[in-house]
Amino acid sequence: MRRNQDEWWLGATFYQVYVRSFADSDGDGIGDLDGVRERLGYLDLLGVDALWLTLDPTVELDVTAFDRLVADAHRDGVRVMVDLPDERMVRFWLDRGVDGFHVTDDHAHQLVRQVLDDHPGIVAAGELRPTGDQRPYDLHLGINLRLMLAGFDAVELRTAIDATLDAAAMAGVPPTWTLSNHDSVREATRYGDGPLGTQRARAMALVELGLPGVVYLYNGEELGLPTVPLPGWALPDQYRSDAHVGSRVPLPWQDGEPPFGFSPGTSAWLPMPPEWAKLTVERQLEDADSTLSLYRQAVDLRKTHRAFSGDELEWYGAPAGCFAYRRKGGGLICVLNGCQAAVPLPAGEILLASGPLNDRHLPPNTAAWLVTS
């Protein structure tokens, strides 16, 4: 889908960084921009194309730190997108070297595009309404939440995929997929919690990353992090009524106890469960079967393998509770088993599976990628 450098976002994998919870550089327990900059090597390992920085609007921007982050990200070949609630800030951010804007105000879309039309290579993204009636605002990318809002059900998921493709076509933008963000319940919890939720979340990662278009990942989903219940925790005032604050618990990086390398201090702004010791980046990088290893392989294949070319999708026949789609052009086949028994895989070379296979049979709550010659 990549046409030229002015449309670098076509087929890209974005990575949403909730800055407050990503990495803390100064020991105060709150993530910051220098913390993100210090972890850019991790994003290189993950293979993402661009960062979407979600900044805390109650904290004054450290412009010098922001400039350092953008410079180092660009050095590493990673683009930088920022939230934009106020269209008057467009030229300020352009002077900082950003590569795109996530626009949260419908009325600002057209004004933003008027400025960006004079700046090729800068992307404007926003949430796409299910009706697709956003053409007048002329976004480059419309982030559709249909797939995120669907349950782990083959019919419901297929309906969400078709609706997303239709809405993108109506709006004249590439389909853009996400399974979570800082305002949602994390996949590992939403799909059933515990081992079942993790198994299904891994399967859905392949469903999402196999689709044509643009993908947005939310920091921590590649580690299989769940949403953490926080009853009785003394939250900062602005988060006390936030139903999704448990999806913003800081990332565990290393070591065997909290704060797991998130901060050089002894604590984080939200409590980190001790059992996350098995989910740290350090531990998962050493495990070829970890969720992080699965994401790394999937993102790399999506970027490099010929099977992922082609913008059109066609559906295969599949047993009840399952589905299979094929990318026209490249030949990628993605199969999801949402039923209670193993199902045989179609013909083709197996590229990747979200869990162990049994003699070319796909177990329940598992997905696989295949390619036809």
Distance CA(84)–CA(99), nearest Å, equals 12
Residue 136 pLDDT > 60 = no
Residue with tokens 């921007």: 61
Q: Alpha-carbon torsion 186, 204, 84, 250, what sign? A: positive
Q: What is the mean pLDDT of residues 56-67?
A: 89
What percent of the chain is modeled with pLDDT above 70?
95
Q: Give pLDDT, residue 372.
A: 86
72-76, 125-129, 167-171: least confident range:
125-129
Percent of the chain with pLDDT over 90: 76
Identify the residue with better confidence: 50 or 85: 50
Q: What whole-number distance in Å separates Cα of residue 252 and Cα of residue 270?
A: 12
Whole-number pLDDT of residue 232 = 72
pLDDT, one tens digit per residue, over 276-324 is: 999 999 999 999 999 999 999 999 999 999 999 988 999 988 999 999 9
pLDDT at 2 over 60: no
Task: Give the mean pLDDT of the chain.
Answer: 92
What pLDDT shows up at residue 135? 47
- Contact indicator for 271, 231 with CB cutoff of 8 Å: no
Can you name the residues that pair with 216 across neighbouring β-strands? Answer: 14, 178
For residues 204-231, average pLDDT: 96
- Domains of the chain, by residue range, sit at 5-304, 310-373
Q: Which CATH architecture has domain 310-373?
A: Sandwich (2.60)
pLDDT at 1: 36
Apex CA 247: angle with CA 241 and CA 251, to 5°?
A: 130
Average pLDDT over residues 55-71: 91
Confidence of residue 5 (pLDDT cuts 50, 70, 90): low
Q: How far is it between the farthest Cα atoms of the chain?
A: 59
Residue 116: the pLDDT is: 83
What is the CATH T-level fold of the domain 5-304, as seen in this structure?
TIM Barrel (3.20.20)
Average pLDDT score over residue span 124-133: 68
